[in-house]
Amino acid sequence: METFKRAVKECGLSALVSAVFCLFAVALFAVFVRAYAPSETTVAVINRVILAAGVFLPSFLFVHRERALFKGAAAGVLSLLVTTLVFGSIGGFHFTALFLADLLLCAVFGGLGALLGVKIRKE
């Protein structure tokens, strides 16, 4: 039971930090978009990069020990759900076919971040 509580805490903390990171990064990027008006493709790619970095870094920092891949993937998916909820409450919910790709992207980057973090810390 203690292991489960620790896993939930790690995933929740990672998702919360990820949502805050994405919120601030997208707000800063919105200033850039307003000033320079890049193409829609550029905006979509940079939003995915922000999402990937926002999932990778907290998983890297906050997921520890055993089953890091699974906890990181869960943290990535939870991060996407929390971020979608936050942005949806601000600007309305708009689900596209890319949401499934985002789920996969977040699961992969969350798992990779957690694995790399555990390897570097040698846990």
**Tens-digit pLDDT profile for residues 23-73:** 999 999 999 999 998 999 999 899 999 999 999 999 999 999 889 999 999
pTM: 0.89
Alpha-carbon span 33 to 88, nearest angstrom:
20
Rounded CA-CA distance 70/7 in Å is 10
Q: How many CB atoms lie within 10 A of CB 2?
A: 6
Mean pLDDT within 80-100: 85
- Tens of pLDDT along 7-26? 999 999 999 999 999 999 99
Residue 117 sits at the vertex; the CA angle it makes with 123 and 105, to the nearest 5 degrees, is 135
The pLDDT value recorded for residue 123 is 65
Residue 18's Cβ-count burial label (10 Å; 0-12, 13-18, 19+) is buried
